[in-house]
Amino acid sequence: MGSCADNLQGVDLIVIRSGPTLKPATGRALIMSVTLLEIDQAMFSIDGDKAPGFDGFNAVFFKSQLYPQVNIASITLIPEISNPTYASVFRPIACCTIVYKIIVKILTHRMQDVIGEVINTAQPSFMPKRHIAENILLATDLIKGYIRKNISP
């Protein structure tokens, strides 16, 4: 599916250590044990009408039945063109179980509360309560200020 590399580029620890980090209490909150309340909130935030996982069960089943937890996914390759001849023209789709989706929802919810501590305010994309339009307005104001200062008589 890909090419093999002789070596992998490492993480630059100097850059990582000089960037923003979570406060110790925030880090501990991210790794604390999952509570029943978090599981309930995650479970009931999943639409019952969503497609079932590869195990054939949808969220409605899990909302009404007990099912042994499994953390597996089935990867299916969907061709992007008719008559594919190369692996690069396939798009992988992961079919996950509802249990996996619950885990992802719990982790996402936890991270939403703390992500602002490590993501700069100039990064609005995919951040709650931030809009890319704010950067457009800021850029416009900066350009107008530059023009007034340097070009206007």
**Domain limits for position 86:** 22-119+128-150
Stronger pLDDT, 124 or 142, i.e. the higher one: 142
CA neighbor of 40 nearest in space, from 115, 102, 117: 102
- Assign 147 to helix, strand or coil: helix
Q: Would residue 15 count as lying in a domain? A: no
CA neighbor of 75 nearest in space, from 62, 85, 87, 59: 87
Q: Would residue 57 count as lying in a domain? A: yes
Q: Would residue 16 count as lying in a domain? A: no
Q: Would residue 84 count as lying in a domain? A: yes
Q: Would residue 99 count as lying in a domain? A: yes
pLDDT at 152 over 50: yes
**Class of residue 114 by CB neighbours under 10 A (exposed 0-12, middle 13-18, buried 19+):** middle
pLDDT at 99 over 80: no
Answer whether 63's CB lies under 8 Å from 42's CB: no
Q: Under 8 Å CB-to-CB from 43, ≥6 apart: which residues?
A: 59, 62, 63, 98, 102
Q: For position 67, what pLDDT does the model report? A: 47
Q: Would residue 139 count as lying in a domain? A: yes
3-state percent helix, strand, coil for the chain, nearest multiple of 5: 45, 10, 45
Q: Would residue 2 count as lying in a domain? A: no
pLDDT at 2 over 70: no
| Whole-model pTM over 0.75 | no
Q: How many domains does the chain have?
A: 1
Q: Would residue 4 count as lying in a domain? A: no
- Assign 33 to helix, strand or coil: coil
pLDDT tens column, 19-78:
778 888 888 888 888 888 888 888 788 787 777 766 677 777 666 664 444 556 678 888
Q: For 139-143, which contacts have Cβ atoms below 8 Å and span 24 or more sequence positions?
A: none
pLDDT at 91 over 80: yes
